[in-house]
Amino acid sequence: MITPDIINALQQYTQNMNAPLSFVLQTGEHSKRAELLQFLTDFASASPLLSVVEQDLSETLRSPLSFTLMVNNEPTGIIYSGIPSGHEFNSLVLSVLHATGTAIKLDEGLQQIIKRVDVPLKFEAYISLSCHNCPDVVQALNQFALLNPHIQSEMIDGGLYPDLIEQNNIQGVPSVYLNGDVFANGKIDTGALIEKLLALYPQLSQQPADAPALPLQDVTVLGGGPAGVSAAIYAARKGLNVTVIAERFGGQVKDTMGIENLISVSSTTGPELTGAMMQHLNDYDVTLKEHLRVEHIESGHIKTLTLSSGEQIQSKSVIIATGAKWRELGVPGEKENIGNGVAYCPHCDGPFFKGKDVAVIGGGNSGVEAALDLAGIVKSVTVFEFLPELKADKVLVEQLHKRTNVTVITNAAAKEVLSTDAKVSALQYEDRTTGQVHEQELDGIFVQIGLLPNSQVAQDVVELSPYNEIIINERGETSAPGIFAAGDVSTVPYKQIVISMGEGAKASLSAFDYLLKNH
């Protein structure tokens, strides 16, 4: 199951292990258990410090398809229920390395928050091996477990536990439970997981009086997407002290599967581009504080930024490049059914609707691309578009019309998401031509109606447009001296990766010019 080439790679990765690690597999019978045992045996062959042990740990492990990681015969709190192949193979590799000495690359402030947990926390993450967002959640929870013995993290492959999927009415992944209760659904990152944890245990955010602080920064960049990374690199090349604060490095780009319009790169993917941006950023002396959000900016000659962790950073200038997020429908039943039939990522959640009837709301490029993607999986796709015609590029629309299981309804305004037994059952929509209200029976609804700028932090700090974009001039300057903006959060008219990169560079050069004249 694990090829010789992969074992060779594992041999390189595991060279720096500083302690023996055992995969402890629950005893018992299951049709997939032999496959799992072979998988673990192949993995363990990569290092003499790795071993496989079969043991009855039924009080901890849920089935013969469950195994846990032990270091020096001590539990790590990490459990896998299923065979972590596919996208989750990297999660397993990282958990092995982190458990045996490889440093956890999580901001020190966030690590301290996790280490302050003093009550038992049992996380269960339901995943699909085809989900490219799920590993982020599994890896984050595994890190939490390694940082604090009070925390346990279990990955559960929903495809191998259909009874649990049915019992919990799970229709989207990742789906995270904490101590038996729903904790998070859908696409979520480390920062959002910690924020949800802080909402339950606010005392964890209390900063000790002796907590170290960064020195005064020349430029602080908010956002880790193309605009933010470009701004940081240009500032660092000027010899400035630069910090990047990013809720999620890569931003929207990380979720983009195909990129064919980044000039000089004929074809790439979001994850590949995100990795390339990180590698480029690492060439410079830039402080990266990932999985954190700036909650407040106090303007002035020296700006004070308060982070979601409670930390504060002082900076001479600020570049806001926080991007945008998926726009929600804002109709009754939408939020209530997220993870139970309402989804925003067809790549992640599409496989859950195999052979079922779904809708895509939105007839732009993202909506039509989602419909094309889903058409090969589901029974039928109905595309709902608010305007009289689809807004997507002609080539995409032509492809859509070739699909025999796709129906397009235009002039349609979504009114309500209906559900039965905690699952989506229909979409209520209005025909904007006649005013009549109709119901379309559906099993799932994928919302693809554009983006909203992540400009909350800029409210009452700089001037915003009626669409809540940060208003900038041709130099990337905002209405507040020393505060600049770039990319999708700003009024730049075209939301494209290559444009965001250019705008980030421009904002950085403007910030450098500002520093020369004012500091």
Q: Tens digits of per-residue pLDDT, 218-252? A: 999 999 999 999 999 999 999 999 999 999 899 88
Say how far apart CA 218 and CA 24 lie, in whole Å.
50
- Domain 4-205 fold is Glutaredoxin (3.40.30)
Q: What is the predicted pLDDT for the residue at 69?
A: 98
Report the CATH architecture of 217-325+452-518. Answer: 3-Layer(bba) Sandwich (3.50)
Name the residue type at position 413: A
Residue 465 and residue 479 in contact, taking contact as beta carbons nearer than 8 Å:
no
Q: Identify the segments of the chain with pLDDT beneath 50.
A: none
| Homologous superfamily of domain range 335-449 | FAD/NAD(P)-binding domain (3.50.50.60)
Say how far apart CA 89 and CA 386 lie, in whole Å.
41
CATH 3.50.50.60 residue window(s) in the chain: 217-325+452-518, 335-449
Dihedrals phi, psi of 428, to nearest 5 degrees:
-95, 125
Residue 288 and residue 467 in contact, taking contact as beta carbons nearer than 8 Å:
no
Residue 187 and residue 106 in contact, taking contact as beta carbons nearer than 8 Å:
no
Q: Give the pair of three-digit tokens for residue 312.
A: 């504060």
Residues of the chain by 3-state class (helix, strand, coil), percent to 5: 35, 30, 40
Residue 451 and residue 327 in contact, taking contact as beta carbons nearer than 8 Å:
yes
Cis amide linkage into residue 174, ω under 30° from 0: yes
Q: What is the predicted pLDDT for the residue at 61?
A: 96
CATH 3.40.30.80 residue window(s) in the chain: 4-205
